[in-house]
Amino acid sequence: MGNPPRVIQYVVAPCAFGHVLAAATECGVCAVALGDDPAALIDDLARTFSDATLERDESLPDDWMKTLLDYLHGERMSLDLPLEVAATPFQQIVWNALRAIPYGGTQTYQQVAERIGRPRAARAVARACASNPVALIIPCHRVVRSNGLLGGYRWGIERKRALIAHEAAHVELCAS
């Protein structure tokens, strides 16, 4: 007998950045995605987790979606949600370093590479950012190129620009 299919609950909600999809197992958040089309977000989730049973559930465990929406509305500056994401050891190191970048701040791919003790791994850091399945929780939007350009962003470069500006504005509000 094989293992029973994994169940993933998900919800999609409108937000200032389009729509946000959050998906979770009973152990933690496994996907957070941003986009303009809720159906496309759900289709991508289904492709990513083709071996799982997906269930739409407007009340993810422990108000995880409310936590994400509060973050997107500037009502919270951190996202300490439990995660259930597959990662290589290198990705895990990079993602932990990204979670340490302060809200409202940015670092370059090179700075992240140096912080993790791999100064020649800036491109590998960029690949780890690109494979991040949980937008916002692992804040890959806070990583930019050394030349000041934003670089890529899985959920759109304009969305990355808006997230960085949004966080910076809320940091300024809190400081005044």
Catalytic residues: 140
Residues 6+ apart with CB under 8 A from 81: 28, 29, 64, 67, 68, 137
- For 125, the token pair is 């850091």
- For 109, the token pair is 């791919």
Concatenating the DSSP letter of every residue in 10-68 gives EEEEEETTEEEEEEE-SSSEEEEEEES-HHHHHHHHHHHTTTEEEEE-SS-GGGHHHHH
**Alpha-carbon span 87 to 93, nearest angstrom:** 9
Pairing of strands 18-24, 29-35: antiparallel
